[in-house]
Amino acid sequence: MKRIYNVFLFIAIIGAFSCKKDFIALTPVDAYTTNNFYKTEQQFESAMVAAYAPLRDVLINDYFTSEMHSDNTIYQPVGSNVGTAYVYRENISDFLNTSVNSYVNATWQHSYTGISRCNIIIQSLPGSNITDSIKKNIDGQAKFLRALNYFKLVRLYGAIPLFLKVVTTANDAFIPRTSVDSVYMQIVSDAKDAMDELAPPAKFPQTGVATKGAATMLLADVYATQKKWTEVEQLLKTLPAMGYDLNSNYDDAFDPLNKNSKESIFEVQFLGGDMTGSTPNALSIHFIPRSTNTKLLTGIVINNTGSGGWNTPTKDLISSFEPGDKRLDASIGIIEGIYDGSDYLNYTAVKSISDSVPAAGATAIPYIKKYMHSPLPATSGSSDDFPIYRYSEALLLLSESLNEQGRPSEALIPLNRVRARAGLDPITETNQSSLRKLIFHERRVELAFENHRWEDLLREGDAVNIINTVGKKIKVDAPYTPAGAYNIDDHNLLFPIPQTDLDLNSLLFQNPGY
């Protein structure tokens, strides 16, 4: 299959679906329908591109619900120019979001878009004209993506509608929420099918499509959420034989010149530039202070006053890096500047995170550095892929599974592999409870800004206490946050079901507290 950033293939499909010589004819001979499109290998490859595409849409909102909705990042104040779109995004960070928050709801909508496209593919495969081996591969990819989307939804929203077939009637569309346990049963079933049907990476760099390794890591992640630690260990120990390993340097995993490397288990594909088929990653522009000219960071003139200022690292996260940790400088940088009357920062200097004393009259703002590779190839974004799973996470999850099975001495081996690359001394702690905290701390700094933090807080089981405690510090550091921010209870552990869906579907009910 061609690299999945070739989303223009999907655009061609849409054009074909809409092509009609006579709008009165129900099935003109030059138009594709579900009855005549899903037949050939090329058509299914194009449909798979369409199934991967919503992952990019999810990412544009994912950092709000995963990083900013945690103790890792905050937002920059907008000043007087506060519209509804800004308020909704700030509310997610402040734990004040409601069922009408369009940025929370977008994660729901884009995830279900991906699920719907996977369902069409899975349901159409039996009637196709392609070989069994290709059917298996496509079915495996579609079930991996369906499982990945449902895994995100069930952790964020709890019980959710479980769609497993193409929606053709109102009865198909309006269904009740399915229990969390049943959703997980389906996720496990899909992930197992994907493992059986997909092959390991044929070579590195990979093509970007889902592989047996990606399905294995997903299933291990699901089992870790369910605390099935023996299964987690068994799955993760199969990854080295598939060729996965750590890169020599931490920041190699994020370099656009090193996409889909041996450390990459699955990443969302982007291609920067202005040529046909380009799909730039706009996140690097979102993650830096708002300015009329970002050239000092981006290498080209970009005005990000309408899109920047989000996902700013907190002081609590920065201080959690140990002295000498190479990951700090690879992950976070400092931009200095002077604010103008519109609350936009005029950039004056780019500095290392270790040089945090600003010049006279300037303000120093930390920014996410790991996705910023200057110069950007386009004003609309970069070529940086976004990691979903890396091998370093597999090592940390293996460490956790061993510790939870009462084998802390063994758990130190994969944990210290990750630390050694970061330039840190090995951990020797073998008390299970103390080591558990150290492993979660290691996940925080190793996987910072990779949209794992909120889910990690949930799995660790102490999210309410951590957010309320760290939130007090954040409100001191960011006095522009409202008084009610970071004051949560158990109802905040789930997001609200979107109000639009509740209004359309009387079989749905809202999560408690909203």
> What DSSP line would sit under 348-381, residue for residue?
EEEEETT---PPTT-EEEEEE-TT--SSPSBTTB
Tell me what the mean pLDDT of segment 167-183 comes to: 94
> Pairing mode, if any, of strands 332-339 and 345-352?
antiparallel
Q: What is the pLDDT of residue 130?
A: 94
CA distance 175 to 508: 8
pLDDT greater than 80 at residue 21: no
Alpha-carbon torsion (342, 343, 344, 348), positive or negative: positive
Q: What is the pLDDT of residue 35?
A: 62
pLDDT greater than 70 at residue 4: no
Residue, of 444 and 170, whose pLDDT is higher = 444
> Pairing mode, if any, of strands 73-74 and 264-268?
unpaired
Q: What is the pLDDT of residue 13?
A: 39
pLDDT greater than 90 at residue 354: no
Tell me what the mean pLDDT of segment 232-252 comes to: 98
Residue 394 · residue 239 · CB < 8 Å:
yes
SS3 state of residue 268: strand
Percent of the chain with pLDDT over 90: 86
> Pairing mode, if any, of strands 386-390 and 264-268?
antiparallel
Within 10 angstroms of residue 127's Cβ, the number of other Cβ atoms is 10
pLDDT greater than 60 at residue 486: yes
Find out if CATH 1.25.40.390 is the number for domain 1-73+82-192+464-505.
yes
Number of H helices, E strands in the chain: 20, 7
Residue, of 66 and 20, whose pLDDT is higher = 66
Q: What is the pLDDT of residue 399?
A: 98
Per-residue pLDDT reduced to its tens digit, 295-323: 999 999 999 999 999 999 999 999 999 99
pLDDT greater than 70 at residue 128: yes
Tell me what the mean pLDDT of segment 72-95 comes to: 90
Residue with tokens 């598939």: 242
Q: Where are the domains of the chain?
A: 1-73+82-192+464-505, 286-375
SS3 state of residue 439: helix
Per-residue pLDDT reduced to its tens digit, 33-60: 556 678 899 999 999 999 999 999 998 8
pLDDT greater than 90 at residue 274: no
Residues whose CB falls within 8 Å of the CB of residue 334, separated by 6 or more in sequence, listed in order: 350, 351, 352, 353, 355, 356, 364, 365, 366, 367
CA distance 274 to 380: 9
CA distance 117 to 383: 25
CA distance 202 to 196: 16
Q: What is the pLDDT of residue 39?
A: 83
Q: What is the pLDDT of residue 36?
A: 63
Tell me what the mean pLDDT of segment 212-232 comes to: 98
How many residues make up the chain in this entry?
514
Alpha-carbon torsion (139, 142, 148, 154), positive or negative: negative
Residue, of 276 and 316, whose pLDDT is higher = 316
Average per-residue pLDDT in the chain?
92
Q: Which two tokens stand for residue 140?
A: 């495996």
Q: What is the pLDDT of residue 60?
A: 87
Nearest by Cα to 71 from 320, 314, 310, 311: 314
Q: What is the pLDDT of residue 80?
A: 67
Per-residue pLDDT reduced to its tens digit, 130-164: 999 999 999 999 999 999 999 999 999 999 999 99
Quickly state the pLDDT bin for 276 (edges 50, 70, 90): confident
Q: What is the pLDDT of residue 23?
A: 33
CA 97 → CA 65, 395, 414, 502, distances in Å? Answer: 10, 34, 38, 16
**If you write DSSP's letter for every residue of 15-57 in order, what string do you get?**
HHHH--S-TT-SS-TT---TTTSTTSHHHHHHHHHHHHTHHHH
Per-residue pLDDT reduced to its tens digit, 371-399: 999 999 999 999 999 999 999 999 999 99
Q: What is the pLDDT of residue 358?
A: 86
